C-alpha cells in the first residue's frame, strides 16, 4: 500500500481466507467498490469480497491538523494504532451482542515515526442514517442503542446523526468507533456524547432536529433509569 512501509493486519479468519494488503485497496475491488456518499471524509467505500459486503475506511484526520498531514499518525506501537484499537473494540462489543457492525480486518503501514491505517467492517443491510429520518418515529430505537452502549461502559468519540443507523426492522446501530473506549463511561462523558448528538441533529435538521433530539433524550433517560448500572 505504501512503498517502503512495514505493516501488519488483524482479520477475522472465518471471513477471510486470503489475507493481504489488497483488501485495503479500493481499486482492487473494481466495480465492487462504491464511495460512501455520507461521511467518510472521501476515504470510505462500500466493498464486496469473499467476506461478503463491507465498508472499507482509511483513517483520515480532520480539522486544522489535516492541513499538515491528513492521513499520517504518530507511531506509538502496533497495539495503539487506530485501526487495531477499533478492530479489537468492535470485536468485543459485537461478542457482547451490542448494536455495532462486526469487524472484518484492520491494517497499518508504518514509515519512520508515522503510520497510516485502514479498517474493514461488516456492512449493515438496509440502513439509513438518523440524519435522514427526522420525520420518522425512530427516536426510541436510537435512544435504546446509545443507552445500551453507555450501560456497557462504552464511550463513543463522535456520536452524531450520521453514526447512528436504523434498519428496515426498526433497529438502531452505532458505527465508527475510531478512538472509542470501553471500561467505564462517566456521567460527564455520557452528557458530552448526548450534547454532541444534539448539535449534530440541530445542524442537519434545525428546529426539526432539536425536536427529534428532545424525544430521543426523553427515551434515553427512561432507558438509563430502568437499567441500573
174 - beta bridge partners?
164
Report the number of secondary-structure helices (H) and strands (E) in the chain.
4, 12
Q: How far apart are CA 172 and CA 219, in angstroms?
A: 14
Question: Does 158 qualify as catalytic in the annotation?
Answer: yes
Beta-strand (E) ranges in the chain?
Answer: 6-11, 33-35, 44-49, 52-58, 73-74, 103-111, 114-122, 127-129, 154-155, 164-167, 172-174, 181-182
Q: Which of 144, 197, 195 has its CA nearest to residue 166?
A: 144
Contacts 24+ apart (CB under 8 A), 42-48: 43/71, 46/123, 47/120
Choose the catalytic residue: 12, 70, 140, 158: 158
Strands 103-111 and 114-122: antiparallel
Q: Which of 132, 122, 129 has its CA nearest to residue 163?
A: 129
Nine-digit cell at 106?
484492520
DSSP state of 123: P
Active site residues: 158
Amino acid at each position: 500500500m505504501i512503498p517502503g512501509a512495514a505493516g501488519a493486519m488483524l482479520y477475522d479468519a472465518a471471513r477471510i481466507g486470503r489475507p493481504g494488503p489488497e483488501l485495503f485497496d479500493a481499486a482492487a475491488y473494481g466495480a465492487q467498490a462504491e464511495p460512501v456518499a455520507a461521511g467518510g471524509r472521501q476515504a470510505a467505500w462500500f466493498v464486496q469480497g469473499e467476506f461478503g459486503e463491507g465498508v472499507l475506511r482509511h483513517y483520515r484526520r480532520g480539522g486544522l491538523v489535516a492541513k499538515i498531514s491528513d492521513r499520517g499518525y504518530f507511531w506509538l506501537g502496533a497495539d495503539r494504532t487506530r485501526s487495531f484499537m477499533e478492530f479489537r473494540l468492535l470485536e468485543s462489543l459485537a461478542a457482547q451482542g451490542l448494536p455495532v457492525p462486526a469487524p472484518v480486518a484492520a491494517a497499518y503501514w508504518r514509515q519512520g515515526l508515522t503510520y497510516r491505517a485502514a479498517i474493514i467492517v461488516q456492512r449493515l443491510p438496509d440502513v439509513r442514517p438518523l440524519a435522514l429520518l427526522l420525520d420518522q418515529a425512530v427516536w426510541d430505537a436510537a435512544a435504546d442503542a446509545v443507552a445500551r452502549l453507555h450501560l456497557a461502559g462504552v464511550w463513543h468519540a463522535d456520536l452524531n446523526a450520521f453514526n447512528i443507523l436504523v434498519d428496515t426492522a426498526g433497529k438502531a446501530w452505532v458505527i465508527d468507533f475510531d478512538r472509542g473506549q470501553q471500561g467505564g463511561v462517566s456521567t460527564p462523558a455520557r452528557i458530552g456524547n448526548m450534547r454532541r448528538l444534539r448539535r449534530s441533529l440541530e445542524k442537519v435538521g434545525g428546529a426539526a432536529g432539536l425536536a427529534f433530539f428532545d424525544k430521543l433524550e426523553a427515551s434515553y433517560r427512561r432507558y438509563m433509569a430502568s437499567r441500573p448500572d
